């Protein structure tokens, strides 16, 4: 990757950018929300579209000179409709959190009620955590997963909804390894006469490829991030039926944003085109298969998993079951030492602070993009287990680091 123009102006930033490419090449990226976009998406995001103001929507802009911008945004919208089958799509939210904000602004008034999953059980800040705008503006109650099984407890959600009478129920999660039964959440929303927002930030790509059931056509609103499993560069998206189109569009602009990030929308258009290729279905299927193999490998090493396995792209290890004294943070740091990058994560029934946590979350989207197959992933699972089992042994960690480098070299990235 060449940064000649940057280097001429700003060697400090050029050094950091080059070092980041090296870091991405020479580590195993297992943060479940991350992925590697194609060089085509990178080019789109680095294009001159960053220069253009385009407040408004295709065909109705507040600025002149938008003919090419309109082409790009219209393509992004059409491709998203094809990928997810939504009636209406807004591709302007700057990220997944902004997409959620757009939906809240479209249908809620300050003081209205949100029912969503607790952050420590796999929810997201933008679902109404008290430090987030949603927690400050709205009245929020939260549901939890079943502490015994790690699965969503749909009966509890139903009862909670009937009792709390929320204006909106939020489903879709950051650290839930199982399939979500959207219809069951919709039943709770119907019973409470509430809207239903399904936030598929993590699983956009799995849903598009048919590897996870789709909430489109079930929930009133579907939101997502575009840089996670769908691999289309940093950004957000809102989908809904035609009846909510105007409310959503005017919530995004003028409600909460100014000019759209057109270079990122170009990235979305290109990434969505890539995702419409049949090869993307193979990618999504391999991502899920790899997560299953990772889960089995962990279990073979005696590790406990939240919900006992996975149906998605991620595995949540509950370290308390095998390593009482190893915190999520300890594991995260030891793994980073050997070149495996993932994050500490809270687990249901968490007893430690969220910064320390008792679990780790490991995802397969990025490694699968790099070409890792089931055998490679089994090796990765073995290396993770070995590191955690020998967390204070520098000799073992040096050996693991060598094997990590070998795996990276076998699966090149951004050549």
Ligand X SMILES: *Cc1c(COP(=O)(O)O)cnc(C)c1O
- Which residues neighbour 368 within 8 Å (Cβ) at sequence distance 6 or greater? 283, 286, 287, 290
* Contact yes or no for 203/175 (Cβ under 8 A): no
Alpha-carbon gap, residue 104 to 85, rounded angstroms: 22
Q: Is 221 annotated as a binding residue?
A: no
Alpha-carbon gap, residue 295 to 315, rounded angstroms: 6
Q: Is 355 annotated as a binding residue?
A: yes
Longest dimension (CA), the chain: 63
Strands, E assignment, 340-393: 340-341, 343-345, 359-363
Alpha carbons within 13 A on the beta-carbon side of 353 = 3
Burial (Cβ within 10 Å: 0-12, 13-18, ≥19) of residue 289: middle
Give the nearer residue to ligand X in terms of CB position, either 248 or 408.
Answer: 248
Burial (Cβ within 10 Å: 0-12, 13-18, ≥19) of residue 37: buried
Residue numbers at the binding site for ligand X (CB under 6 A): 33, 95-97, 124, 126, 172-174, 199, 201-202, 225, 236
| Least Cβ distance, residue 173 to ligand X (angstroms) | 5
| Least Cβ distance, residue 222 to ligand X (angstroms) | 12
Give the nearer residue to ligand X in terms of CB position, either 96 or 365.
Answer: 96
DSSP lists the bridge partners of residue 57 as 60
Alpha-carbon gap, residue 242 to 123, rounded angstroms: 28
| Least Cβ distance, residue 168 to ligand X (angstroms) | 14
Label the pairing between strands 314-318 and 304-305: antiparallel
| Least Cβ distance, residue 310 to ligand X (angstroms) | 16
| Least Cβ distance, residue 92 to ligand X (angstroms) | 13
Alpha-carbon gap, residue 169 to 187, rounded angstroms: 11
Q: Is 125 annotated as a binding residue?
A: yes
The span from the first CA to the last CA of the chain, in angstroms, equals 8
| Least Cβ distance, residue 69 to ligand X (angstroms) | 22
Alpha-carbon gap, residue 301 to 384, rounded angstroms: 10
Question: Which of 175-193 are b and which e, b meaning 16 or more Cβ less than 10 Å from the residue's Cβ?
Answer: bbbbbbbbeebbbbbeebe
| Least Cβ distance, residue 318 to ligand X (angstroms) | 19
Q: Is 123 annotated as a binding residue?
A: yes
Q: Is 150 annotated as a binding residue?
A: no
Encoding tokens for residue 52?
A: 């253009």
| Least Cβ distance, residue 201 to ligand X (angstroms) | 3
Q: Is 129 annotated as a binding residue?
A: no
| Least Cβ distance, residue 199 to ligand X (angstroms) | 5
The secondary element (H helix, E strand) that includes residue 225 is strand 221-225
Residue with nearest beta carbon to ligand X: 96
Q: Is 353 annotated as a binding residue?
A: yes
Q: Which of 248, 216, 301 is nearest to 108 (CA)?
A: 248
Q: Is 119 annotated as a binding residue?
A: yes
Annotated binding residues for (6S)-5,6,7,8-tetrahydrofolate, written as ranges, equal 119, 123-125, 242, 353-355
């Amino acid at each position: 990757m060449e940064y000649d123009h940057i280097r001429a102006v700003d060697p400090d930033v050029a050094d950091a950018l080059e070092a980041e490419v090296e870091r991405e090449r020479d580590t195993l990226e297992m943060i479940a929300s991350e992925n590697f976009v194609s060089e085509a998406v990178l080019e789109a995001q680095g294009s001159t579209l960053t220069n253009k103001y385009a407040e408004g929507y295709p065909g109705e802009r507040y600025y002149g000179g938008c003919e090419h911008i309109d082409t790009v945004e219209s393509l992004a919208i059409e491709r998203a409709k094809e990928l997810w089958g939504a009636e209406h799509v807004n591709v302007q939210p700057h990220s997944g959190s902004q997409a959620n904000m757009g939906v809240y602004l479209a249908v809620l008034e300050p003081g209205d009620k949100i029912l969503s999953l607790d952050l420590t059980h796999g929810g997201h800040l933008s679902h109404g955590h008290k430090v987030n705008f949603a927690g400050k503006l709205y009245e929020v109650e939260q549901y939890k997963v079943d502490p015994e099984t790690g699965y969503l407890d749909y009966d509890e959600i139903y009862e909670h909804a009937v009792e709390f009478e929320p204006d909106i129920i939020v489903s879709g999660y950051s650290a839930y390894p199982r399939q979500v039964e959207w219809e069951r959440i919709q039943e709770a929303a119907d019973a409470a006469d509430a809207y239903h927002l399904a936030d598929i930030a993590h699983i956009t790509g799995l849903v598009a490829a048919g590897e996870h059931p789709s909430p489109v056509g079930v929930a009133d609103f579907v939101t997502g991030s575009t840089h996670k499993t769908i691999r289309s560069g940093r950004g957000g998206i809102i989908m809904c039926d035609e009846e909510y189109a105007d409310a959503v569009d005017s919530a995004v602009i003028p409600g909460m944003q100014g000019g759209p990030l057109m270079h990122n929308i170009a990235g979305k258009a290109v990434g969505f085109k890539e995702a419409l290729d049949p090869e993307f279905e193979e990618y999504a299927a391999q991502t899920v298969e790899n997560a299953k193999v990772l889960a089995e490998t962990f279990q073979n090493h005696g590790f406990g998993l939240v919900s006992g396995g996975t149906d998605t792209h991620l595995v949540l290890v509950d370290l308390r079951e095998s390593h009482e004294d190893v915190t999520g943070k300890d594991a995260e740091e030891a793994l980073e030492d050997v070149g495996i990058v993932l994050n500490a994560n809270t687990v249901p029934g968490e007893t430690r602070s969220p910064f320390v946590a008792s679990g780790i979350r490991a995802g397969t989207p990025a490694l699968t993009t790099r070409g890792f197959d089931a055998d490679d992933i089994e090796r990765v699972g073995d290396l993770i287990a070995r590191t955690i089992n020998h967390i204070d042994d520098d000799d073992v960690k040096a050996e693991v680091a060598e094997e990590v480098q070998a795996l990276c070299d076998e699966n090149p990235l951004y050549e």
